[in-house]
Amino acid sequence: MDKQLVALFPELNEFQDESLKKKTIEVWKEAMLERGWQVEDLLAMPFTLLIDRTEINIVDHTRAVTQTALHIAQAMEEVYQDQVKINRDILLAGALLHDVGKLFEFEKSGAKFRKSRSGNLLRHPLSGAVLAAKLGLPEDVLHIIACHSKEGDGRRATIEAIIVNHADFVNFEPFK
């Protein structure tokens, strides 16, 4: 399963911290296991239920958000140099996991996806952060997951969380 996830998310190879890479993979594996998802399901799962008939799946959205976040970090580091300190591994883990809670929020109904009972009770930022906490990810990664969407308005306390929030919305708004 690890190799399948690295094939789905080649950005996993960008980690410098192997332990954080392994934990990030474990979160995806655990979410898939708990909800009975297969790799093929992720490739079919829409990245949002808020847009009718989107062709963009959760894998492509996650990859685009991750790449966007890394490019933002690179531009900021190049231009601002010592004025900004970005932990790229924390940024990478947070971006790769920002929507992992959607594996709990969504369920398959025939050929379509819909909001699950779990999703009606807890939105994906919370369920994703809870799972990541259970598997021992650092608080800064939990903060990114929990605060990447509207739940984080006025609460984003790290530069990595701010970057992932903006990278996520840049990869959502044009498709509404």
Q: Are 86 and 163 in contact (CB under 8 A)?
A: yes
Alpha carbon distance 110, 25 (integer Å): 28
Top-level class of domain 2-46+54-175: mainly alpha
State residue 154's pLDDT score. 74
pTM of the model: 0.96
Q: Give the H or E element holding residue 113.
A: strand 112-115
Residue 110, CA atoms < 13 Å, CB-side half-sphere: 1
CA–CA dist 35, 102 (Å, integer): 10
Lowest mean pLDDT among 65-74, 95-104, 132-141, 154-163: 154-163
pLDDT score recorded for residue 12: 98
Query: 106 Cβ partners below 8 Å, 6+ apart?
Result: 45, 49, 113, 114, 115, 116, 119
List pLDDT tens digits, range 103-130: 999 999 988 999 999 999 999 999 999 9
Q: Tell me the pLDDT of the chain averaged across its residues.
A: 95
Residue 153 has pLDDT above 90, yes or no: no
Rounded CA-CA distance 156/97 in Å is 16
Q: Where are the domains of the chain?
A: 2-46+54-175
Q: Quote the CA–CA distance of 67 and 26 in Å, as a whole number.
A: 21
Task: Assess whether pLDDT exceeds 90 at residue 160.
Answer: yes
pLDDT bin (cut points 50, 70, 90) of residue 23 is very high
